[in-house]
Amino acid sequence: MLKVILNGLEFKNPILTAAGTFGKGYELAHSYDLSKLGGIIPKTLTLKKKNGNPFPRLSEVPCGLINSIGLENEGIEHFLNETYPILKKLPTKIIVSISGESIEEFAELLSTLNRETDIDVFEINLSCPNVERGGEEFSLNVDILSSLLLKLRRMTDRVLWAKLPPDVYGIVRKVEVVKSVGIDAVVLCNTYKSTYIDVNKMSYSIAAGQGGLSGPAILPITLYIVREVKKTFPDLPIIASGGVFSTEDVIRYILVGAHLVEIGTMNFIKPDEVFKIPFGIEKYLKEKEKSLDEIRGYLL
Ligand SMILES: Cc1cc2nc3c(=O)[nH]c(=O)nc-3n(C[C@H](O)[C@H](O)[C@H](O)COP(=O)(O)O)c2cc1C
């Protein structure tokens, strides 16, 4: 009933755990039934191990969370030797999120993973600084975005998803690039640039002074972006990511056309919930006497 066929792959249901909010992906395998999830996206992987940013890296704010983790991860060597052999045995789809500080670094990472694994889907995390251009994010310049995605597209036949940072006013131009180079689906969106202040300490709440806002505060904005993109590019599949804290929130994204929905911050607050949401969707569909396909894009 909840099955989703997307990019030629079968997902048990539309629920994925978002990168950076579910550890390496397998830590909860002894406590929870991971087969209840449509898929898992482990923490973004980079070529070399990264220790991340100084602490504090997380700050709770009204209706949300600001993080500045700095892509802390084990690097590809450890991933291939230790983590991937465990991940590939899990009873759900594994989507591997990748990132780099230059086009070449992205390409080397993808080429190694493509050669040494049978991973079905790569999620390209575009919310990262391009050191060759003074730290400008890859998606800010559509020519750079296009060169990067085209290079990666030509390297593999596996499914590629592009995860964009949010952009309320200019998202259509960026998604146009994603679509034109043949990327299979777009993930909307990553966290929102933000900052917060601890008035008593007279300092920023996170050491980096700024970070990415996630959680319920962002849902209405990301929902708007998903709707805008789906209206403009009806044939490009969307994976929504932003502020989901309930079954109803997932349904909201599906009603404006999302095929799959990633859940992030909620996993820190109520880790059980992500496993219950598929049942919630089933109940909703029964009550409305409709299928998932019938409600997808119902409000466009
Ligand atoms: C602590 C934390 C770490 C994150 N790390 C990553 C990451 O490594 N790669 C990535 O693409 N997104 C990362 N994200 C963004 C989430 O995957 C998700 O897209 C975003 O938080 C919006 O969804 P949410 O409101 O459900 O959390 C992170 C978010 C949080 C809160």
Asked whether residue 46 is assigned to any structural domain, the reply reads: yes
Closest CA to 228 of 238, 215, 218: 238
Cα 221 to averaged position of ligand 1 atoms, centre (Å): 16
Asked whether residue 22 is assigned to any structural domain, the reply reads: yes
pLDDT in tens, 243-284: 999 999 999 999 999 999 999 999 999 999 999 999 999 999
CA 214 to chain centre: 12
Atom of ligand 1 nearest to the CA of 222: 22
More confident position, 1 or 187: 187
Q: What is the mean pLDDT of residues 179-187?
A: 98
For residue 47, the 8-state DSSP code is S
Task: Using most ligand atoms within 8 A of CB, pick from 190, 250, 270 the residue to mutate for ligand 1.
Answer: 190
Q: What is the rounded CA–CA span in Å between residue 228 and residue 300?
A: 9
Could you give the C-alpha distances from 14 to 36, 83, 195, in angstroms and in order? 11, 24, 32
CATH of the domain at 162: 3.20.20.70
| Ligand 1 site, CB within 6 A | 18-21, 43-44, 65, 67, 69, 71, 97, 125, 163, 190-191, 214-215, 218, 241-244, 262-266
Asked whether residue 118 is assigned to any structural domain, the reply reads: yes
Tell me, what's the pLDDT at 132?
Answer: 87
Asked whether residue 159 is assigned to any structural domain, the reply reads: yes
Asked whether residue 300 is assigned to any structural domain, the reply reads: no
Tell me, what's the pLDDT at 170?
Answer: 96
Q: What is the rounded CA–CA span in Å between residue 274 and residue 88?
A: 21
Atom of ligand 1 nearest to the CA of 214: 25
pLDDT in tens, 69-93: 999 999 999 999 999 999 999 999 9
Which is the catalytic residue, given 37, 47, 109, 128? Answer: 128
Facing residues of 67 across strands? 58, 212
127 pLDDT above the threshold of 90: yes
Residue 241: give the domain boundaries.
4-295
20 pLDDT above the threshold of 90: yes
Atom of ligand 1 nearest to the CA of 245: 26
pLDDT in tens, 198-214: 999 999 999 999 999 99
Task: Using most ligand atoms within 8 A of CB, pick from 40, 95, 214, 253 the residue to mutate for ligand 1.
Answer: 214
Asked whether residue 275 is assigned to any structural domain, the reply reads: yes
Which residue, judged by its Cα, is nearest atom 31 of ligand 1?
265
Asked whether residue 148 is assigned to any structural domain, the reply reads: yes
Cα 189 to averaged position of ligand 1 atoms, centre (Å): 9
Distance linking the first and last C-alpha atoms of the chain: 23
pLDDT band of 140, cuts 50, 70, 90? very high
For residue 83, the 8-state DSSP code is I
Taking a C-beta distance cutoff of 8 angstroms, is the pair 11, 3 a contact?
yes
DSSP string of 127-160?
A: -SEEGGGTTEEGGGSHHHHHHHHHHHHHH-SSEE
Asked whether residue 78 is assigned to any structural domain, the reply reads: yes
Domain total of the chain: 1
Which token pair is 5?
Answer: 């066929």
Does the active-site annotation cover 189? Answer: no
Tell me, what's the pLDDT at 93?
Answer: 98
116-125, 130-139, 166-175, 178-187, range with the lowest pLDDT: 130-139
Which residue, judged by its Cα, is nearest atom 6 of ligand 1?
20
